[in-house]
Amino acid sequence: MSSKSILLKVLALVAILSMALAACGGGGEPTAEAPTGPAMMTEIGEGEGEVSIVAWPGYIERGETDPAYDWVTQFEADTGCKVTVKSAATSDEMVALMNEGGFDLVTASGDASNRLIAGGKVQPVNTNLIPSWSTVDERLQNAPWHTVDGVHYGVPYQWGPNVLMYNTNAFSTPPDSWNVVFEEQTFSDGQSNKGRVQAYDGPIYIADAALYLMATRPELGISDPYELNRDQFNAALDLLRGQRELINRYWHDAFIQMDDFKNEGVVASGSWPFQVNLLAFEGQPIASVFPKEGVTGWADTTMMHVEAPHPNCAYKWLEWSLNPKLQGDLAAWFGSVPAVPAACDGNELLGPEGCKTNGIDNFDQVHFWRTPVTQCESQGECVPYHEWVTNYIAVIGGR
């Protein structure tokens, strides 16, 4: 490796570590106690003319990618609140951005939401100001990733699985195990998987390794992929160090991952239904499966910054985000499941079987992302998230 390449690699690792440490800042570990913070809003006033949202790619569409998918234009016309979006590729990036401030809302997954609550970066949400709250899936209304001591810190948005995406030309039959990305092997097209698989570029991916070990190494005693004692954690790291020899790229940008599947010879990876749907729509030989070991997943909540500069427009968006048309269109676009079950019926883009296809019946089989903490329910003491961050960076860096 040239000195220039080494320097670029070191600088990249320093940048990743800086973002990760920033993401861990702004508060300690998530706890069972709700933090003290501002009083909950009791009424919605006139809109301030704009609302800024930190969101996953593809979550806030205004028809620029495809005119059929637009749930921003009508909101702006109805409320006078112009929507601006800052895309974030990982939960750590979302936490870092909310720590910086200046944003109104964030579509946070469970591995970020409790950190934001514990750090006092988001404010309680008055569900009485959100008329559509009663339409939210009952399985999500009091979910622990946005509810502390009965206080809600956000509005459920969408949920879904982290699926195994694969190129159908590389497999004569669909793969049924995560071993295709964790263990060196030859695929049915006669080629090795080395350099042809990917892994997610985020510390929470350690849970995917732990989930695989739950099934393949039962002697480790893992019962929850987010609650790992030291030996279980080290076993997951060892698996990931071995996987590194197979990796083409650690992905966090959905569009770069799609390009890698199209142009760089990648044929298998954990992914989101978003990428699967877009690649299939383009006519690429792409499909996805739920492997036999199970899947991790995400349940996303729209949360409001403690110092939101446009709180009235933010509340208007929280209500708008639950309308069935938006929920169904977004589910069709992203391959996710609506937080509002009524959105599954009568949506032209989603179709009559869309919610079933996207996994609405598999809720109990998904191990939803959440932030690992020291004091865990399954075994008393576990490895906390800040160690997941530093150790995963080391794995990516080859240490």
DSSP state, residue 15: H
> pLDDT at position 89, please?
87
With CA atoms as reference, report the closest residue to 153 among 124, 129, 130, 128.
Answer: 124
- 311/210 Cα distance (integer angstroms): 40
pLDDT > 70? residue 10: no
Q: pTM for the complete prediction?
A: 0.84
Encoding tokens for residue 321?
Answer: 């985000």
pLDDT > 90? residue 25: no
For the chain, the average pLDDT equals 91
Reported as a single tens digit per residue, the pLDDT across 168-215 is 999 999 999 999 999 999 999 999 999 999 999 999 999 999 999 999
Reported as a single tens digit per residue, the pLDDT across 230-258 is 999 999 999 999 999 999 999 999 999 99
The whole-number average pLDDT for the span 52-66 is 95
With CA atoms as reference, report the closest residue to 129 among 209, 230, 58, 40.
Answer: 40
Give the side-chain half-sphere CA count within 13 A for 36: 0
With beta carbons less than 8 A apart as the criterion, state whether 96 and 291 touch.
no
The whole-number average pLDDT for the span 142-163 is 95
Give the side-chain half-sphere CA count within 13 A for 153: 33
> pLDDT at position 37, please?
59
- 178/180 Cα distance (integer angstroms): 5
> pLDDT at position 398, please?
83
Reported as a single tens digit per residue, the pLDDT across 372-394 is 999 998 898 999 999 999 999 99
pLDDT band at 283 (very low <50, low <70, confident <90, very high): very high
- The continuous run of DSSP H or E covering 375 comes out as strand 375-376
- 166/174 Cα distance (integer angstroms): 8
- 34/21 Cα distance (integer angstroms): 23
> pLDDT at position 86, please?
97
Where are the domains positioned within the chain?
Answer: 13-160+298-364, 161-296+373-396
pLDDT > 50? residue 221: yes
Q: How many other β-carbons are positioned within 10 Å of the β-carbon of residue 252?
A: 17
pLDDT > 90? residue 19: no
Better pLDDT: 374 or 20: 374
pLDDT > 60? residue 293: yes
Q: Which fold has domain 161-296+373-396?
A: D-Maltodextrin-Binding Protein; domain 2 (3.40.190)
pLDDT > 60? residue 320: yes
72 to each of 63, 145, 349, how far by Cα in Å? Answer: 8, 26, 17
Q: State whether residue 295 is helix, strand or coil.
A: strand
Reported as a single tens digit per residue, the pLDDT across 92-121 is 999 999 999 999 999 999 999 999 999 999
Worst-scoring range by mean pLDDT, 3-17, 69-83, 266-280, 363-377?
3-17
With CA atoms as reference, report the closest residue to 95 among 84, 78, 109.
Answer: 109
Same fold: 13-160+298-364 with 161-296+373-396: yes
With CA atoms as reference, report the closest residue to 75 among 299, 306, 242, 313.
Answer: 313
With CA atoms as reference, report the closest residue to 339 among 350, 352, 315, 323.
Answer: 323
> pLDDT at position 23, please?
45
DSSP string, 35-58: PP-SPPP----S--SEEEEEE-TT
- 399/390 Cα distance (integer angstroms): 11
pLDDT > 60? residue 310: yes
Give bridge partners of residue 159 from the DSSP assignment.
299, 337
Q: Name the CATH code of domain 13-160+298-364 (choices 1.25.40.340, 3.40.50.300, 1.10.340.70, 3.40.190.10).
A: 3.40.190.10
- 222/153 Cα distance (integer angstroms): 30
With beta carbons less than 8 A apart as the criterion, state whether 142 and 156 touch.
no
